[in-house]
């Protein structure tokens, strides 16, 4: 595997030794925006245990399940190990009630962490496989769960349908058409994910361009497990306004210049990048260097249950370990809000609400 080159010549936003030493409670108090959170990586272990007991799985208690579906400190931080957690999780999507429940609980957990706006991405093909559910049914169950969760927990929630590079374009096209039919029920975007090192994006280009023309926001996982050229392709060929991860953008000055020019938003996931082996050492994560290069990088969790993290903890890592000044957090939170795939009036109202509250929390911002 190719890893992020930590020798890239950039200066960090701040020296980690000059950290602010804010307690976690401070970060928890901040209103937040999350653009990159996978439903399948957000499932509570306790919920998995309930499903395991109900369906008589061998994995039916939390102590057995945790090492199977969460990253432990003593495990190898590799792409293969990270993905192995999803292979286990896919065994548990057994009923419509389960899919609705995990969606509602993902929103409840976001609410408990003071997330005000959440874009939750989900992979219909992965959710359908265990029982062979029709893709449209699966998408409706997620949509219904999201609507119920939004109403119950007060988090403005929108959905992004995700397709994988290793699957057929015909299957992806089905997902896209089903997503477009559900735009008025909260599906607002389309994501291309999966193994970018071994599977090209090009077969999906026409599908994504059509989805963009129909009004879906486009975000592409790129520059994570392959080089910056994939980021350039996502921006120029797919018309993507956002990039999932994108940490290898710093390897190519052309990619940096293009992303700056197009105001591309990077959905950065610090802990996930480390645990999946993309960034070998947490303190060498390029998030501060991306900001110093003039890139619009936002903070996200990716898979909070697998990584055993919250968005508040990601903020804390960025500030306390990577040296991001606390005063810059409101700017990054508002940048995420401004990148939301919302209608202009809704987005403006969200940004204004967040700005007012952040000014109270961090007056110097």
Active site residue ranges: 224
Name the residue with tokens 């991306």: 290
Q: Using CA atoms, how far apart are residues 85 and 167, in angstroms rounded to an integer?
A: 19
Name the DSSP class of 308: T
Q: What are phi and psi of 33, to 5 degrees?
A: -130, 135
How is residue 219 written in tokens? 């975000």
Q: What angle do CA 179, 163, 167 make, to 5 degrees?
A: 130
Nearest to 70 by CA among 266, 250, 245, 308: 308
Nearest to 235 by CA among 225, 250, 223, 253: 223
CB within 8 Å of 360: residues ≥ 6 apart: none
For residues 222 and 233, the answer to whether their CB atoms sit within 8 Å is: yes
How is residue 138 written in tokens? 């699966």
Length of the chain: 365
Name the DSSP class of 130: T
What three-state secondary structure class fits 205?
helix
Q: What are phi and psi of 279, to 5 degrees?
A: -115, 115
Is residue 265 within a helix (H) or strand (E), and if so which, with residue range?
strand 265-268
């Amino acid at each position: 595997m190719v890893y992020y080159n930590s020798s890239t010549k950039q200066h960090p936003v701040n020296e980690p030794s000059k950290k602010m030493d804010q307690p976690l409670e401070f970060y928890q108090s901040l209103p937040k925006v999350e653009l990159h959170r996978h439903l399948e990586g957000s499932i509570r272990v306790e919920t998995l245990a309930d499903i395991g007991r109900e369906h008589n799985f061998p994995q039916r208690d939390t102590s057995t399940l945790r090492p199977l579906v969460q990253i432990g400190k003593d495990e190898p931080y590799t792409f293969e190990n990270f993905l192995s957690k999803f292979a286990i999780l896919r065994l548990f999507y057994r009923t419509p009630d389960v899919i609705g429940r995990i969606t509602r609980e993902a929103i409840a957990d976001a609410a408990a962490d003071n997330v005000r706006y959440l874009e939750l991405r989900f992979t219909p093909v992965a959710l359908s496989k265990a029982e062979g559910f029709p893709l449209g049914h699966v998408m409706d169950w997620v949509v219904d769960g999201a609507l119920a969760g939004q109403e119950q927990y007060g988090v403005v929630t929108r959905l992004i349908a995700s397709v994988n590079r290793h699957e057929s374009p015909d299957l992806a096209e089905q997902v896209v058409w089903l997503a477009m039919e559900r735009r008025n029920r909260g599906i607002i975007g389309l994501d291309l994910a999966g193994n970018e090192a071994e599977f090209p994006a090009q077969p999906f280009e026409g599908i994504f361009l059509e989805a963009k023309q129909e009004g879906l926001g486009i975000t592409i996982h790129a520059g994570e497990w392959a080089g910056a050229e994939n980021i350039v392709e996502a921006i120029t060929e797919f018309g993507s306004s956002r990039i999932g991860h994108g940490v290898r953008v710093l390897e190519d000055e052309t990619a940096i210049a293009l992303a700056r020019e197009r105001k591309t938003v990077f959905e950065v996931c610090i802990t996930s990048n480390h645990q999946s082996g993309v960034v070998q050492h947490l303190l060498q994560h390029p998030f501060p260097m991306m900001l110093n290069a003039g890139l619009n990088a936002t903070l996200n969790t990716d898979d909070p249950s697998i990584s055993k993290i919250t968005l508040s903890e990601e903020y804390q890592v960025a500030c306390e370990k990577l040296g991001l000044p606390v005063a810059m957090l409101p700017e990054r939170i508002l940048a995420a809000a401004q990148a939301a795939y919302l209608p202009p009036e809704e987005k403006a109202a969200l940004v204004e609400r967040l700005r007012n509250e952040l000014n109270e929390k961090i007056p110097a911002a």
